[in-house]
A = this chain, B = another copy of it.
Amino acid sequence: MMEKMDGEIEKTCVEYRDFPAYADREVVMKGMIHRIREMTGFAFVIIRTARDVVQCVYSPDFSDYRMDEKVVEGCAVKITGKIVKDQTREDRYEMQIHDIEVLSSPAEQMPIVINKKQLDNIPLDLNLNMRPVTLRNPKERAVFKIQEGIARGFREFLFSQNFTEIRTPKINAQGAEGGANIFRLDYFGKQVFLAQSPQFYKQMLVPVYERVFEVGPVFRAEHHDTSRHLNEYVSMDFEMGFIDSFYDIMNMETGALKYIMALLKKDYAPELALLNVDLPAIGEIPVVKFMDAKEIITKKYKKKITDYRDFEPEEEQILGKWAKQEYGSDFLFVTHYPSEKRPFYAMDDPADPAYTLSFDLLFRGIEITTGGQRIHDYGEQVAKMRARGMDPADFESYLMAHKYGMPPHGGLGLGLERITMHLLGFKNVRSASMFPRDINRVTP
């Protein structure tokens, strides 16, 4: 007799969120033994499932199974038992254990305590070294469940706006940003590079699909060991054609952020509660021009400006406070950055070519997005490259997009770990990466 697969997935287990519907009934649950607390005459067996931590009670009074030394923390188990109301907290349910089947056993006890609410007193470095273990802590794993929600929200919103999802190559013949922070790779005797951003590709695809986005890894050979930089991170990028102005891009991002926050609130409430996350309310995001922002910093905050080409981190902090005080907003768009500090594909402001039609988005005083309108005219792009000492011949395939016609367009990039970090109030971006890569770390 031949086996056949029909793709009908049978649900054989009950999830914690469905417990109320199964009150007083016997059900089956599978999970990892997260913690065992021996009491007098009974025991709490805390089970970690995909998304919950569930209290089960063992007692010879109602358990057929006799607890023995095989039932330890770290076991994978299948538990059969009855759903009852928690005796101490009327709003919660627990399970009275009837039977336990041990599906697998650990070889050793946990080397660090992961079954408290929080990974207390563990230095970040040890946490990162022990990721296969530390991520089992409910608060740790909640970080990356929320991160899933941010990326999912970005994607779902853009799909609703007729964007096409693209996947562009990470092995590139050129760097989009240039400079020293690019990884080099030997590719069958040729030198190639790891993608610093999908910039060229997403622009090339604007005349194809009008609106495109990608969520994927990018690589930056940052030589500095800072709390803000990773050498590999996930970039959420979009690029849209037929814009009337670069404000269209900012408005699209505002819509995406509103959608993301609403999705987190709706589908990630357990994790938000666990991490005490204060989701920002987004009504309207104020917009200020770069030079006006500099003036606010000098006049209102009496800070002396030393660099009129960019902001210092302290200045961004000041602007973040200002946006909160004046507009009650956690977000602030700053526009019209000096041309000098923006890439060669940024469109200069026709009203004043020393500035660009570009923006940064600050979230609680820290930059999380850089974006803007790009040059679409072939002659204009070639001229700007030459003015910067670049050879257009080095960018032949990129410039095909301009040469054969592309609409006015622009886009942005949003670092997934950075937005996660600031949303959760972390001090170090490594806390917002499952397996961070920095100048000293490539494991686990």
Using a CB–CB distance below 8 Å, which chain A residues touch chain B?
Answer: 2-9, 13, 15, 30-32, 49-51, 73-76, 78, 103-111, 129-133, 135-136, 141, 144-145, 148, 151-152, 159, 161-162, 164-173, 183-188, 190, 192, 194, 201, 204-205, 207-211, 216-217, 219, 221, 223, 231-232, 234, 241-242, 247, 250-258, 282-288, 333, 376-379, 397-398, 400-408, 416, 434-435, 437, 439, 442-444
Q: How far, in whole Å, are A78 and B242 apart by their CA atoms in the complex?
A: 9
Q: Which residues of B have CB within 8 Å of A141?
A: 208-209
Q: Which residues of B have CB within 8 Å of A443?
A: 173, 397
Cβ-closest chain B residue relative to A190: B442
Known contacts A32-B405, A282-B7, A405-B74, A434 near B168 by CB under 8 Å: yes
Contact yes or no, A242 B172, CB < 8 A? no
* Shortest distance from the beta carbon of A187 to any chain B beta carbon, whole Å: 6
Q: How far, in whole Å, are A401 and B131 apart by their CA atoms in the complex?
A: 9
Known contacts A132-B397, A401-B132, A242 near B76 by CB under 8 Å: yes
**Which of B210, B250, B377 makes the CB contact (< 8 A) with A49?**
B210
* Shortest distance from the beta carbon of A242 to any chain B beta carbon, whole Å: 4
Known contacts A3-B287, A8-B255, A166-B144, A404 near B106 by CB under 8 Å: yes
Q: Which residues of B have CB within 8 Å of A105?
A: 377, 405
Q: Which residues of B have CB within 8 Å of A164?
A: 50, 144-145, 148
Contact yes or no, B442 A378, CB < 8 A? no
How many copies of this chain sit in the oligomeric assembly? 2
Q: How far, in whole Å, are A179 and B13 apart by their CA atoms in the complex?
A: 40
Contact yes or no, B405 A75, CB < 8 A? yes
- Known interface pairs A5-B251, A7-B252, A107-B377; 19 further A-B residue pairs with C-beta atoms within 8 A, sorted by A's residue number: A2-B288, A4-B285, A4-B286, A4-B287, A5-B253, A5-B285, A7-B257, A7-B285, A30-B407, A50-B209, A50-B211, A76-B408, A107-B404, A133-B404, A141-B209, A171-B231, A172-B442, A188-B439, A217-B217
**Which of B104, B167, B223 makes the CB contact (< 8 A) with A234?**
B167
Contact yes or no, A208 B104, CB < 8 A? no
Q: Pick from A167, A190, A192, A283 the residue with the most CB of B within 10 Å.
A: A167
Contact yes or no, B379 A107, CB < 8 A? yes
Cβ-closest chain B residue relative to A130: B400
* Shortest distance from the beta carbon of A166 to any chain B beta carbon, whole Å: 7
Q: Which residues of B have CB within 8 Å of A287?
A: 2-5
* Shortest distance from the beta carbon of A160 to any chain B beta carbon, whole Å: 9
Q: How far, in whole Å, are A192 and B438 apart by their CA atoms in the complex?
A: 13
Contact yes or no, B131 A397, CB < 8 A? yes
Q: How far, in whole Å, are A288 and B211 apart by their CA atoms in the complex?
A: 45
Contact yes or no, B185 A408, CB < 8 A? no
A-B contact pairs, 21 of them (CB 8 A): A2-B287, A2-B288, A5-B333, A8-B255, A50-B209, A76-B207, A76-B406, A103-B242, A103-B408, A107-B377, A107-B404, A131-B397, A132-B404, A135-B208, A141-B209, A167-B416, A169-B437, A171-B442, A183-B185, A183-B187, A205-B434
Q: Which residues of B have CB within 8 Å of A216?
A: 216-217
Closest 5 CB pairs of A and B: A74-B405, A397-B444, A106-B405, A7-B254, A76-B407
